[in-house]
Amino acid sequence: MTAETALLAVEDLATFYGRAQILHGIAFTCGAGEVVVLLGRNGAGKSTTMKSLIGLLRPAQGRITFAGTDITGAEPHRIARLGLGYVPEERRVFAGLSVAENLDIGRQAPRPGLAPWTPARLYTLFPNLAAARDRAAGQMSGGEQQMLAIARTLMGNPRLVLLDEPSEGLSPLIVEHMAAAILALKAEGVGIVLAEQNLHFAERLGDRAVVIEKGSAVWAGSLAALAADDAARQRFLAVGVET
Amino acid sequence: MAGTGQILIPLLTGLADAAGLFFVASGLTVIFGVTRVVNFAHGSLTMLGAYCGWSLISRLPPTPLGFALGALATMAILAVIGAGLEIGLLRRVYRAPELFQLLATFGVVLMAQDIVQWLWGVEDLALRRPPWLRAFVTLGGARFPRFDLVVIALFPLVFLLLWLLFTRTRWGRLVRAATEDREMVAALGVDQRLLFTSVFALGAALAGLGGVLMLPDASANLGMDLTTVTDAFVVVVVGGLGSLPGAALASLLIGLLQAFGIMLVPRATLALVFVVMAVVLVLRPNGLLGRPPGRDGGGGEARALVRPAPAVLRRFGLAVLVLAALAPLFLGPYALAVGTEMLIAMLFAASLHFMMGPGGMASFGHAAWFGIGAYASAFAVHLLAAPMPLGLLLAPLAAGATAALFGAFVVRLSGVYLAMLTLAFAQIVWAIAFQWVDLTGGDNGILGVWPARWAAGPRGFYWLALALAVAGTLGLRVILAAPFGHALRGARDSRRRAEAIGLPVTAIQLAAFALSGAQAGLAGGLYAYAKGSVFPTYISLGHSVDALLMVLLGGVATMSGPIVGALAYTGLYDVLLSATSLWRLVLGAAIIVLVLAAPEGIAGGALKLWQRVRPA
Ligand SMILES: Nc1ncnc2c1ncn2[C@@H]1O[C@H](COP(=O)(O)OP(=O)(O)O)[C@@H](O)[C@H]1O
Ligand SMILES: [Mg+2]
């Protein structure tokens, strides 16, 4: 897939926090119905990459194209309205609002070519949420909050979702659930960029991987190639070790 | 029967007061919740509401319907003004530090004062009251204004409407979500600008309602902006910033407390409210129903360190100092008096800067320490018949000791809550000075605080002020360059990290608070002798704001900031005052332009310019 045809194309991305340069020329693409995994240790720059894509951080350099539009430096709400969804690592559900209200905040108009998400459909995808729809989000467990964060973003009918470490800190059962939901999204034709430290989780879901180290993309290829590449695995194996 | 009246009437009075507080405070709290802007101009919006309401209602038929129409039209006008204010000014400063937003809204306060005075004149405007407005009901043998019953009924009604708005509409849900995490709301595709503008419009409309409803019992007057905003701040802080139910609860608490307090302790009513606020903040640092502050997005950028002044600046400073020391040889008494005031202002501003910049503790009530110092000197003269040096020694001691005592509560808080607690304390001190007439002379102040004979002339006193103010200001600077200063900034930048490396953070901040208070006290003592008199206005909110303006004008991040700011502010003030009757308009506009153009303050802006032009 080339930068011209991909749903999301990132070229030469550099982002700073104040004077500290965090990203040094990240580049990758992601197509519809594709799962691209950003692998990397804690502090590698995965979250910073995602925040730069959604517009919460302004890249100092590089180009981001989404659905044929240059979104480099655009405001977050404009980017989100083009159909780029973002599920942050810290989940950031609105604690004082109920589950149903949280979903409503994410609501956007249906997008041509995609079956619109409704609360009813999302409650089927995440049955735990259905039972808790009137509960305050702040009172839910970590796993439920993660589901809510994803469901809330889906209410915007995104073409592509940035998922920042959705498996972090969750029980194996919930992680299974999460994996199934992500595969269901993929089957709908939604593109997914998944930040992960958990190599096993990534290998089950991902089509391609981009390994990030100290803010640079140091390896890119299919997950099958990563599985076959012992040297690379050796070098990046630490990312697969659960902490 | 008279017994029921004795309880019923204050109860109803309290409820009516609570309603009035709620209308204004609800707007303030909603605006703060979403935009994180402490809108000092909220009282000005209330004042505008009262004046607009007066103009409209006076022209409408003197019927309840006419009044209601006038009130609704006023709310609409205020909504437009609020939206305009948001679009024209506040939108541009959301990313600026909290205190700059405050400074910008204070610029609006100043401008609004002159605009209102220009449009409506200086006279208080009372509504001509038709019979229905004058009517009383008789309850338990006592009379109660019927209109106040309407106001009381509006309290739950407005609360209910707002509650429905916030829970039953998508707009309201967006507001609540944005109050928690506005960045996330944006990342979900919501245009914050529309949301912020509409929230400001709603808040301003509520302020307008509050203003209109004050008309029948009081009148529209030029002082109501600051009194209203102070009351509303108290309510909002007691209730919890951003919490609507909190604002309702706090309004009730404070309204009733005032009504019953005036029966129980008639002479301490002013202090009572602020004592309640202080108690609530000490027990519940986020207010009654407030949450711990959420994400504020940004603000965590690295701040400039204190470096030794560049050699050029040092030489320049020395030259200015020499010039200042020689000034009495070629300046007249009036210029020297102005110079003395500037020097005192410099020390006052430097002391606030000490706790605000490096200490990270912004105070809305710094005039408290200035005032305590001034009164300490006055008491020294009158009660102890002490000579001036002793009076000038007692001023910083008294202020520093009080600051140390009170600081123990203050340093547990941070941000807006800390600022509010300092405001509360200053208001308590002010209330004591104002209401304890036997000791302080109340509004008439204490006169005859004259300096010793050797410093009695304008020259002598100027030199004395120069010596003490320069020594005090430089002393603070020396302390900041010492290990204590490093520890203080470390505690400001990351409390946790500072604690982790074993710094006694609370003790350090307390020491800084007390030291800052002591220096402000010295400035107050000097001022008392310079003027020969002491008044409660030394402790007023306006005086605290003067200090804030001086520091922010100069720039918080630079060491020379407070010096430049104090001189610029006093200078500007004196020039404007003599040049134009619309000095507040000009000063307010100047402040706003400065905030928009140079958010680092004058000295900060100059520093930036210097760094740009300096060969690398
Ligand atoms: N708000 C911030 N301010 C300054 N530096 C930050 C901030 N957030 C993250 N960083 C730094 O940026 C680097 C990348 O962080 P991040 O993108 O969160 O990594 P990852 O998501 O891969 O764990 C880290 O070194 C981290 O310390
Ligand atoms: Mg991360």
pLDDT for B297 equals 36
Overall average pLDDT of the B358-386 stretch: 90
Residue B469 lies in a domain: yes
- Please state the separation of Cα B366 from the chain's center in Å: 10
Place of tokens 């909002």: B236
The CA radius of gyration of chain B, in Å to the nearest whole number, is 25
Which tokens belong to B354? 């000490």
Overall average pLDDT of the B11-38 stretch: 92
**DSSP assignments along B66-116, one per residue:** HHHHHHHHHHHHHHHHHHHHHHHTGGGGTTS-HHHHHHHHHHHHHHHHHHH
Torsion B176-B181-B183-B188 (CA) sign: negative
CA separation for the pair A206, B46 (Å, rounded): 59
Neighbours of B383 (CB within 10 A): 9
DSSP bridge pairs for A212: A217
Ligand 1 lining (C-beta closer than 6 Å): A 17, 20, 22, 40, 42-48
Q: Which long-range contacts (CB under 8 A, 24 or more apart) does B6-9 make?
A: B6/B140, B6/B142, B7/B140, B8/B139, B8/B140, B8/B142, B8/B144, B9/B139, B9/B140, B9/B142, B9/B144
Residue A238 has pLDDT above 70, yes or no: no
Q: How far is A77 from chain B (nearest CA, A)?
A: 4
Interface probe, candidates A53, A75, A92, chain B, greatest B C-beta count within 10 A: A92
Give the model confidence (pLDDT) of A28-55 as tens digits: 999 999 999 999 888 999 999 999 999 9
Residue B371 lies in a domain: yes
Torsion A41-A47-A48-A52 (CA) sign: positive
Least-confidence region, from B31-45, B479-493, B573-587: B573-587
Q: Does B176 touch chain A (CB under 8 A)?
A: yes
Q: Does B165 touch chain A (CB under 8 A)?
A: no
Q: Which amino acid is at B38?
A: V
Length of chain A, please?
243
Inspect the interface and report whether the beta carbons of A96 and B176 lie closer than 8 Å. yes
Same domain (yes/no): B112, B210 = yes
Same domain (yes/no): B461, B348 = yes
Give the model confidence (pLDDT) of B291-309 as tens digits: 766 544 333 333 444 455 6
CA separation for the pair B412, B307 (Å, rounded): 29
Which of the given ranges, B23-27, B264-268, B564-568, has the highest pLDDT on average?
A: B23-27
> Coil, strand or helix: which one is B41?
coil
Residue B1 has pLDDT above 70, yes or no: no
Q: Is residue B224 within 8 Å of B115, Cβ to Cβ?
A: no
pLDDT for A206 equals 92
Q: Which amino acid is at A46?
A: K
**DSSP assignments along B388-449, one per residue:** HHHHHHHHHHHHHHHHHHHHHHHTT--HHHHHHHHHHHHHHHHHHHHH-HHHH-GGG-EE--
Q: Does B184 touch chain A (CB under 8 A)?
A: yes
Q: Residue B122: is it exposed, middle or buried by C-beta count within 10 angstroms (0-12/13-18/19+)? A: exposed
The range of the structural domain enclosing residue B42 comes to 22-223
Please tell me which residue of chain A has the smallest CA distance to B183.
A56
pLDDT for A181 equals 93
CA separation for the pair B372, B404 (Å, rounded): 13
Pick from B164, B189, B223: which residue ends a domain?
A: B223
CA separation for the pair B441, B317 (Å, rounded): 42
Same domain (yes/no): B215, B352 = no
Residue B138 has pLDDT above 90, yes or no: no
Q: Is residue A44 within 8 Å of A23, Cβ to Cβ?
A: no
Pick from B539, B573, B602: which residue ends a domain?
A: B539
Q: Residue A67: is it exposed, middle or buried by C-beta count within 10 angstroms (0-12/13-18/19+)? A: middle
Residue B10 has pLDDT above 70, yes or no: yes
Least-confidence region, from A103-112, B4-13, B392-401: B4-13
Q: Is residue B188 within 8 Å of B170, Cβ to Cβ?
A: no
Same domain (yes/no): B388, B502 = yes
Residue B497 lies in a domain: yes
Nearest atom, ligand 1, residue A38 CA: 22
Give chain A's mean pLDDT: 90
Nearest atom, ligand 1, residue A44 CA: 22
Calculate helix-pair angle for B483-493, B505-531, nearest 10 degrees: 110
Torsion A192-A193-A199-A203 (CA) sign: positive
Give the model confidence (pLDDT) of B148-164 as tens digits: 999 999 999 999 999 99
Inspect the interface and report whether the beta carbons of A105 and B188 lie closer than 8 Å. yes
**Which pLDDT band, with edges at 50, 70 and 90, does B209 fall under?**
very high
DSSP bridge pairs for A164: A195
Give the model confidence (pLDDT) of B491-514 as tens digits: 888 778 888 888 888 888 899 999
CA separation for the pair B334, B319 (Å, rounded): 23
Give the model confidence (pLDDT) of B527-563 as tens digits: 999 988 999 989 988 888 889 888 887 777 777 778 8
Q: What is the percent of chain B with per-residue pLDDT over 70, rounded to a whole number?
A: 92
**Which pLDDT band, with edges at 50, 70 and 90, does B260 fall under?**
confident
β-bridge pairing A160-164 and A8-17: unpaired
pLDDT for A223 equals 86
* Residue A108: DSSP 8-state: -
**CA nearest ligand 1 atom 21, residue:** A47
Ligand 1 center from residue A215 Cα (angstroms): 10
Neighbours of B475 (CB within 10 A): 15
Inspect the interface and report whether the beta carbons of B187 and A95 lie closer than 8 Å. no
A69: alpha, beta or left, given left = phi > 0 and alpha = psi -120 to 50? Answer: beta
pLDDT for B602 equals 67
Q: Is residue B425 within 8 Å of B364, Cβ to Cβ?
A: no
**Which pLDDT band, with edges at 50, 70 and 90, does A126 fall under?**
very high
**DSSP assignments along A154-209, one per residue:** HTT--SEEEEE-TTTT--HHHHHHHHHHHHHHHHTT-EEEEEES-HHHHHHH-SEE
Q: What is the percent of chain B with per-residue pLDDT over 90, rounded to a whole number?
A: 39
CA separation for the pair A11, A210 (Å, rounded): 13
Which tokens belong to B268? 């301490």
Domain count across chain B? 2
> Coil, strand or helix: which one is B453?
helix
Q: Which of A16, A39, A48, A213 to mutate to test the pocket of ligand 1 (most atoms within 8 A of CB)?
A: A48
Residue B205 lies in a domain: yes
Q: Is the pTM higher than 0.80? A: yes
Q: What is the percent of chain A with per-residue pLDDT over 90, rounded to a whole number?
A: 74
Same domain (yes/no): B205, B323 = no
**What ipTM was reported for this prediction?**
0.94
Inspect the interface and report whether the beta carbons of A94 and B176 lie closer than 8 Å. yes
Interface probe, candidates B34, B182, B184, chain A, greatest A C-beta count within 10 A: B184
Inspect the interface and report whether the beta carbons of B183 and A76 lie closer than 8 Å. yes
pLDDT for B359 equals 85
Torsion A129-A132-A136-A139 (CA) sign: negative
* SS3 per-residue string spanning B527-592: HHHHHCEECHHHHCHHHHHHHHHHHHHHCCCCCCHHHHHHHHHHHHHHHHHHHCCCHHHHHHHHHH
pLDDT for B454 equals 81
DSSP bridge pairs for A30: A8
Question: Chain B partners of A81 at a C-beta cutoff of 8 Å?
Answer: 189
Inspect the interface and report whether the beta carbons of B187 and A106 lie closer than 8 Å. no
Q: Which amino acid is at A106?
A: G
Residue B86 lies in a domain: yes
β-bridge pairing A191-196 and A61-66: unpaired
CA separation for the pair B157, B151 (Å, rounded): 10
pLDDT for B452 equals 78
Nearest to residue B409, comparing CAs of B283, B304, B563? Answer: B283
Which tokens belong to B35? 């935009």
Inspect the interface and report whether the beta carbons of A94 and B183 lie closer than 8 Å. no
Least-confidence region, from A226-235, B138-147, B432-441, B445-454: A226-235
Please give the C-alpha separations between residue B403 and each of A79, B371, B429, B522, in angstroms, as whole numbers: 50, 12, 12, 13
Inspect the interface and report whether the beta carbons of A104 and B170 lie closer than 8 Å. yes
Q: Does B292 touch chain A (CB under 8 A)?
A: no
Please tell me which residue of chain B has the smallest CA distance to A52.
B187
Pick from B511, B539, B567: which residue ends a domain?
A: B539
pLDDT for B295 equals 44
Give chain B's mean pLDDT: 86
Least-confidence region, from A123-127, B52-56, B317-321: B317-321
Residue A143 phi, psi (nearest 5): -65, -45
Question: Chain B partners of A75 at a C-beta cutoff of 8 Å?
Answer: 186
Q: How far is B159 from chain A (nearest CA, A)?
A: 19
Residue B596 lies in a domain: no
**Taking chain B, what is the end-to-end CA distance rounded to the nearest angstrom?**
85
CA separation for the pair B442, B445 (Å, rounded): 6
Neighbours of B343 (CB within 10 A): 27
Residue B95 has pLDDT above 80, yes or no: no
Q: Which amino acid is at B300?
A: G
Please tell me which residue of chain B has the smallest CA distance to A108.
B189
Residue B256 lies in a domain: no
Give the model confidence (pLDDT) of B456-500 as tens digits: 888 888 999 999 999 999 899 889 888 888 888 888 887 788 888
DSSP bridge pairs for A136: A98
Q: Does B303 touch chain A (CB under 8 A)?
A: no
Question: Chain B partners of A102 at a C-beta cutoff of 8 Å?
Answer: 177
pLDDT for A63 equals 95
**Taking chain A, what is the end-to-end CA distance rounded to the nearest angstrom?**
35
pLDDT for B560 equals 78
Size of interface A-B (CB pairs under 8 A): 63
Q: Residue B542: is it exposed, middle or buried by C-beta count within 10 angstroms (0-12/13-18/19+)? A: exposed
Inspect the interface and report whether the beta carbons of A108 and B189 lie closer than 8 Å. yes
Residue B393 lies in a domain: yes
> Coil, strand or helix: which one is A81?
helix
Q: Does B438 touch chain A (CB under 8 A)?
A: no
The better pLDDT of the pair B605, B517 is held by B517
